[in-house]
Each structure stands twice: as C-alpha cells, then as structure tokens.
Amino acid sequence: MLDNIKSIDSNNFFKSIKDFPKQIEEVFQSKNTILKNKDSLEHSYENILFCGMGGSAIAGDLLKSMLVEDMKIPIVINRDYSVPNWLSKSTLVILSSYSGNTEEVLSCYSECINRGNKPIIISSNGKLLKNAKKIGDSYALIPKGLMPRAALGYSISILFKILNEITIINFHQISKLKKTIVSLKKDSVLYSKIDSNNKAILLAKEIHNSFNLIYTSNNMEVIGMRFRAQLAENAKMLSSHFVFPEQNHNEIEGFINTFVNKLNILWVYDQDSHNKILKRMEITSSILQGKVKKHIIKSEGETFIERELRLIYFLDWVSFYCAIFNNVNPYPVDSISKLKSLL
C-alpha cells in the first residue's frame, strides 16, 4: 500500500504535513509586526477568550496548554455561536477562522461588536477579515491555500507573536517555541522517510483498522483532541480521547463487554504530568492488561512546548499513514463540506 502513496494522496497532503516546522520558521523569520491596526486594542486585559472551530480552534487549545504555567490571566477556549456573559472590554478576544467564513466565529464577532469589545482577527480571507478591515479592528493574516488543520504551524506561531506584540508574553516564551524548529525538522526527515524504521508508519500499521482510545494526562489533553480529529479528517477513522485522572472515575468500568477486543489504547505519557496521574495511568494499564491492545507513546524534548509540538507532529504523521493504509485520500473532507452546504 505504501508504494501507492502518491496515487492515494493525489492532493499531496504529505507536503502539508512535512512543512509543519517550516511554517513555524517562516513566521519567526519575518521581522515585520504580525498585527495590523494594533492601536484599536485595549492596554490591559483580565482574561483571554479564544473563539474558533475545528482546525482553527486547536491552536487556541495548544496555546492554553503551553502557557498555563506562565500566564497570570486565564485563557478560555470558546467553540460556540455565542460569547460568555462575563465578556467585557477587559477581555482580549481572539477570533480565529482560517477561511474567514466560519459561521460560529462570525456570530461571536457580531456579539463582540454589540458589547463594545475590540477583538483580534486571525484569518486568511472571507467575511471575518473583510469586516475587520472595514470596522478597523486589529487582525493578523495567515497564508492562504491550506486546509485549516494543515496550518497549525502558522496558527500557533502567529498566536505567540500576537501575545508578544501586545506584551502579554515575553521573549522567554517566544524563544521556547522557536527552539523547537530544530528538533521538528529532524522529526520531519524521520517520519517522511518510507522505510521499516519509521515509527509513524509502524504505529499506523497497528491501529489503522481498529477503534482507538487515546488516553492522556490533563496537561496533554490537547494531544488527544488533535489526534482524534486528525484520525477522523485524514484517515476517516472514529476514535475517542479521555484524560486522567477523570477516566478512573467512570470510563474504567466500561471494559467488561465483548467490544473491548476490537479496541486499541494509546497511552500518551509526559514527564511533567503529576506523579499521582502517572501512577493512576500505570495501574489502570495493568488492570486492563490482556483485555485490550495497548501502545505507549512518550513525549520527547527538553521543554514542555517542545514535547507537546513533537507529539502533535508525530501523531499527524501517524494519521496520514493510517489514511494510506485505509486507501483513502487524506485531503478531502466531503462530509464536512456537504454539511456546510446544507446549513
């Protein structure tokens, strides 16, 4: 099947995944400020609200996860048509839609306008960008021509630069992200090579025809969210993700029926997870021993930001190779497109 990658992947989604580290590098190589109309913004904020859906929203989840130890104000991710009641002029609202036509995000924009909030827009085109320019709101451009889920390198880098330009984060956090480029480039060489030593290919071969449960600690929840979404959109596979310790308070009781022999569990470990959570994951794994197949995935890297990005990148490759093993083109999302046309 791997001999037919180019015929299956007729839109060359392979390149979109391979270019992930280049996207980050491109954003930070630019000496230009990322924000337009920055003067429209407030000078201090009490909280951050990130509004987005799908591939555009995951950058917000990633940002929150990466900065949770450094931020002095909370970050809330909003996947809805409405903004929370607590939103005020002291809320930094970031509206992200790759196409600029995501109706949930456009609805949130209307509510922000009605409530006197001046948001930041991240988009490549569409109504969102057009309205921002017309109103005079601050915005940042993301390069065109990609599927939203394939623009994550741009999205997360742009978010970091935005927060740096408005002095919410400093050079220390920026440098941590920039330092990941070297290791991501090395990973790009390893995971794009079609051979028997490619760990992404080996894992995809094991899981592509199973229902997969992705278990992570709380600090790695975004990894489970991203991988579940990538398996669905790229490989057309259903899966589920859950976090520890919450799993121990309900889902652990579900492993008693005959369906479990069709499951794979992917255990995602990170060294910075709470010791009690790591212990719970190990005990749970031992309880489920023999009931389900399991695969252990450990994060690698010096900083949490590096480990998180490298895990996301690795699992993006796994989802791509799952698509190839399933003989499906990873690029189109026909069901999503059909749903949007019927709304």
Element housing 283 (H / E): helix 275-287
In a domain, 161, yes or no: yes
136-145, 207-216, 289-298, 315-324: least confident range? 289-298
Looking at the fold, whether 44 and 166 belong to one and the same domain comes out as yes
Residue 38: pLDDT band with limits 50, 70, 90? confident
Residue 41: pLDDT band with limits 50, 70, 90? confident
pLDDT greater than 80 at residue 2: no
* The pLDDT value given to residue 196: 87
Residue 238 makes CB contacts below 8 A (sequence gap 6+) with 211, 231, 232
Residue 70: pLDDT band with limits 50, 70, 90? confident
pLDDT tens digits, one per residue of 131-152: 999 999 999 999 999 999 999 9
* The pLDDT value given to residue 1: 66
CB contact at 8 A, 101 and 128: yes
In a domain, 304, yes or no: yes
Report the chain's mean pLDDT, rounded to a whole number: 94
Looking at the fold, whether 170 and 202 belong to one and the same domain comes out as no
In a domain, 339, yes or no: no
Looking at the fold, whether 202 and 305 belong to one and the same domain comes out as yes
Bridge partners (DSSP) of residue 268 are: 297
Average pLDDT over residues 249-259: 85
Whether 262 sits among the annotated catalytic residues: the reply is no
Looking at the fold, whether 141 and 248 belong to one and the same domain comes out as no
Bridge partners (DSSP) of residue 92 are: 48
Alpha carbon distance 265, 242 (integer Å)? 11
Residue 49: pLDDT band with limits 50, 70, 90? very high
Q: How many residues are there in the chain?
A: 343
CATH classification of the domain holding 255: 3.40.50.10490
Looking at the fold, whether 174 and 36 belong to one and the same domain comes out as yes
Alpha carbon distance 47, 153 (integer Å)? 24
Average pLDDT over residues 73-80: 96
Q: Model-level pTM?
A: 0.95
* Token pair in block for residue 74: 């909370």
Looking at the fold, whether 192 and 317 belong to one and the same domain comes out as yes
Alpha carbon distance 49, 76 (integer Å)? 5
pLDDT tens digits, one per residue of 7-27: 999 999 999 999 999 999 999
Whether 340 sits among the annotated catalytic residues: the reply is yes
Alpha carbon distance 157, 171 (integer Å)? 13
- Domain of 253 in residue numbering reads as 186-325
CB contact at 8 A, 189 and 240: no
Looking at the fold, whether 80 and 61 belong to one and the same domain comes out as yes
* Token pair in block for residue 1: 């099947």
Which residue among 25, 233, 306, 308 is the active-site one?
A: 233
* The pLDDT value given to residue 266: 97
How many structural domains does the chain have? Answer: 2
Which residue among 43, 134, 249, 338 is the active-site one?
A: 249
CB contact at 8 A, 83 and 48: no
Average pLDDT over residues 171-183: 94
In a domain, 13, yes or no: no
CB contact at 8 A, 288 and 251: no
pLDDT tens digits, one per residue of 191-235: 999 998 999 999 999 999 999 999 999 999 999 999 999 999 999
Whether 249 sits among the annotated catalytic residues: the reply is yes
Alpha carbon distance 37, 139 (integer Å)? 7
Bridge partners (DSSP) of residue 217 are: 244
Average pLDDT over residues 69-79: 93
Nearest-Å Rg of the Cα atoms of the chain is 20
Please tell me which of 35-39, 67-71, 116-120 the model is most confident about, judged by mean pLDDT. 116-120
